[in-house]
Amino acid sequence: MVTAEPTIGVLALQGDVREHLRALAGAGVRTATVRRPAELEAVDALVIPGGESTTMWKLATAFELMEPLRKRVEAGMPAYGTCAGMIMLADRITGGIEGQQTIGGIDMTVRRNAFGRQVDSFEAEVPLTGMGDTPYHAVFIRAPWVENVGEGVEILGRAETGPNVGRIVAVRQGRLMATSFHPELTGDFRVHHYFADLVRRAMDQED
């Protein structure tokens, strides 16, 4: 029996939606945009793009998506968050606005805008566990970093250069993963391939 390719949705409230759709297509999966609870139910997994985490939270609340998102993640739906999406998947955040909420799911504390403002955006080579021997050319834009993680969280990548050397910038916990940087803005789709394979394995486990 051949397992059908998964359909991976991109949360389309804000951020680099089109770029993620292109990268996922490059990883060989079907794609869809997600703005409504019914669209969320129709996908096998979800990418939460970069953008502005407080705006994303407010829009998800307005579109009545926050609770459905939490329930799907709690039920085992694979999800991948980039930049603001990393913040949305964190169980705890620092530097957020008063009352800011997240979807949660990854046992980590994320510092919002940790690497600085828009003018402090930068690119760096980041070795990533399980994604080849060549370091990944990562694009950081108003990026968060991970302050600390729980025992069940695997650290996939750390900053290796600059004043913030050693900071955690890529993590995975079970079917959930997150990066501080924006792999959708490069032509290197290794991170999206890694997530697509994670989703395929999750689907095989459920068959």
- Which residues are catalytically annotated? 83, 182, 184
Write the DSSP assignment of 151-179 as a string of letters.
TTPEEEEE--SSTTTT-EEEEEETTEEEE
Q: How many CA atoms lie within 13 A of 21 on its CB side?
A: 12
Listed residue (97, 98, 77) closest to 89, CA to CA:
77
Please, what is the angle between helix 53-62 and helix 66-74, to 10°? 100
- Are 66 and 60 in contact by the 8 Å Cβ rule? The answer is yes
Q: Measured between alpha carbons, how far is 8 from 45 in angstroms, rounded to an integer? A: 5
3-class state of residue 30 by DSSP: strand
Write the DSSP assignment of 110-138 as a string of letters.
EETTTT-SGGG-EEEEE--TTS-SSPEEE
Token pair belonging to 35: 């703005």
